[in-house]
Structure 1
Amino acid sequence: MLRELPLGFPWAVLVAVHLPESFTDTLVERLRRASQLPVMAATSGMRLEPGRVLVAPGGRNLVVRPVMDSPWVGWQTDFVEEHGLDVPSVDILMHSVVRAVGRNVVGVVLTGLGHDGTAGAHDIRQHGGTVVAQDEASSAVFGMPKSVIQSGLASAVLPLPHIADFLVRHVQPGTTARRGRSSFLSQPVQAQ
């Protein structure tokens, strides 16, 4: 998905993947090689910037907090697990983003085990934001997106190759995602 987001993408991108801390550098490097956008592991106090991808460090929850009327990134460094959630928790990240920026949030729930992301998706939708869930056919494990879809929280259900185009169209109407000279148009969105 990050491969298709173009340079100049106007929103910050935050990533939470259920991984231990020892895999953070490997994930960041892999995403960096695949993306046109700058990708880095988030550190406490790091500013959210348009077109920059921040990855939650494994074993820690990434939390966005408004600081002097501007969203800044921090994490709960000693937080390992709460109420059985995987860490980094998608729900905790989504809840914090909604508290910081309100309705201007697009949450994307991709392949994964369990239901992490469902409570966060509920919060996003309740505040007027948008939630995209990966479809079953393109998911390696359909647990997380399935939970969001079955809860009626998905604004759109899309195959992985079409999510970037949806995001670009959402934040920049009239445009499509591009990598180099190629571009693609998404199939019609399955509205929920």
Structure 2
Amino acid sequence: MAIKEIRTVLIEDSGLMRIMITDILRHQANLELIATAKNGKEGVEKVAHLRPDLVITDMVMPDMDGLGVVKKIMKEFPTPVIILSALDKTDPLVFEALNAGAFDFIDKPRFQTTIHRQEMGNLLNSIAQEAVKNRQKIHHQPQLKINQNDHVFDRASNYEILGIGASTGGPKAVESIIKRLPGNLPIPVVIAQHMSEHFIVSFAERLNQLTPLEVRVPASGEIIKKGMIYMVPGHKNTKIIRKLRTNEPVVRFTNETFEAFNYPSVDCLFSSLASTYGDKTLAVILTGMGKDGTEGLQEIKKAGGFTIAQSEASSLVFGMPKNAIEQNVIDRVIDLNEIPVFVVGCL
């Protein structure tokens, strides 16, 4: 059942953008816009007074930026926050805001067409409902230290690749896993995170600073190498296939679409891992809305690989893991903080 009347405060310094987003919100039956604010300081004051169900905020604002808004709200009156980001640039503070407790982020509207307003309104509505439903899980988690220690791998690895799929809540979950993997990891990692293309690049750059392993967005035709972490891009779906002459695993982009989600599709990536690596595939499905990943996990399980789902208690949104569990394609359900240790122990 849909959540009714989500009382919302919008914080945005651009007058034009406030008008556009206000119009979008007012066409959503489940979202009730109760106040707007033109800067972070005014926004926090209105949140304190009105105690809304949801806050939507810009990142770059006078008096107090979006990160300050999130930190203040989470400390004094925890409320789900959705971040608005500009399409023409990627603000790295968005990831800090997610770590500070923001629920999710979306791109600001680009066009004023009816279709685009409708699409953004539907997206905001679905994220808002998940945010309010999972508000008890919204809290600041302590920062985990980067694993600077090598692990003793005394035998050949049981698996040749680790695949990770995530959506809403994924950036924080992915970061917590990557930060705890050892610098001498003997297999490659490929990650499909539902995120806009420009943010995927920024996220890969951020992760690259948080681990001794190299993190990058691969190019088409790039050879997959051990000890590397690859964030698949968002402009195409990605497969890992074998080169005919050398049998080396390489990246291939495709326009093929999948029912659950596209660009990037977890199903696409995971299905290709099943075909390329078979029973040497280790895959993890993390927090997120929807059911993307289940189809690919089914293929991995059929091929003899090992599949892991993030637990409900540790998932911000228990959608993708839940669907995979219900379809009996998961070998082990694990709390987020235990996944890195479990994965390393499998190798």
TM-score category (smaller protein): 0.7 to 0.9
Counterparts of 2:336 and 2:256 in 1: how far apart (Å)? 29
Alpha-carbon distance, 1:33 to partner: 2.0
Alpha-carbon distance, 1:143 to partner: 0.4
**2:284 counterpart (66, 86, 108):** 108
Which aligned runs of 4 or more in structure 1 are off by greater than 4 angstroms? Answer: none
**1:129 counterpart (290, 297, 305):** 305
**8 Å CA contact retained: 1:4, 1:164:** yes
Answer yes or no: is 1:10 the counterpart of 2:209: no
**Higher mean C-alpha displacement, 111-120 vs 16-25:** 16-25
Secondary structure (helix, strand or coil) at the match of 2:253 reads: strand
**2:253 counterpart (75, 78, 86):** 75
Which residue of the partner structure matches residue 295 of structure 2?
119
Which residue of the partner structure matches residue 267 of structure 2?
91
Point out the structure with max Rg over C-alpha.
Answer: 2
**8 Å CA contact retained: 1:98, 1:124:** yes
Answer yes or no: is 1:152 the counterpart of 2:328: yes
Higher relative contact order (CA 8 A, sep 6+): 1
Structure 1 40/47 Cα, relative in aligned 2: closer, same or farther at 3 Å?
A: same
Q: Percent identity?
A: 34
Give the number of aligned pairs: 169
Alpha-carbon distance, 1:36 to partner: 2.3
Counterparts of 2:343 and 2:213 in 1: how far apart (Å)? 14
Counterparts of 1:73 and 1:80 in 2: how far apart (Å)? 15
Hey, which of these two has a bigger chunk of helix by percent? 2
- What are the within-5 Å matches in structure 2 for residues 26-41 of structure 1? 26-41=202-217
Counterparts of 1:15 and 1:44 in 2: how far apart (Å)? 15
Structure 1 51/170 Cα, relative in aligned 2: closer, same or farther at 3 Å?
A: same
Counterparts of 2:330 and 2:310 in 1: how far apart (Å)? 9
| Equivalent AA in structure 2 for residue 97 of structure 1 | L
Which ranges in structure 2 are unaligned for 5 or more consecutive residues?
Answer: 1-176
Alpha-carbon distance, 1:84 to partner: 4.8
Answer yes or no: is 1:141 the counterpart of 2:313: no
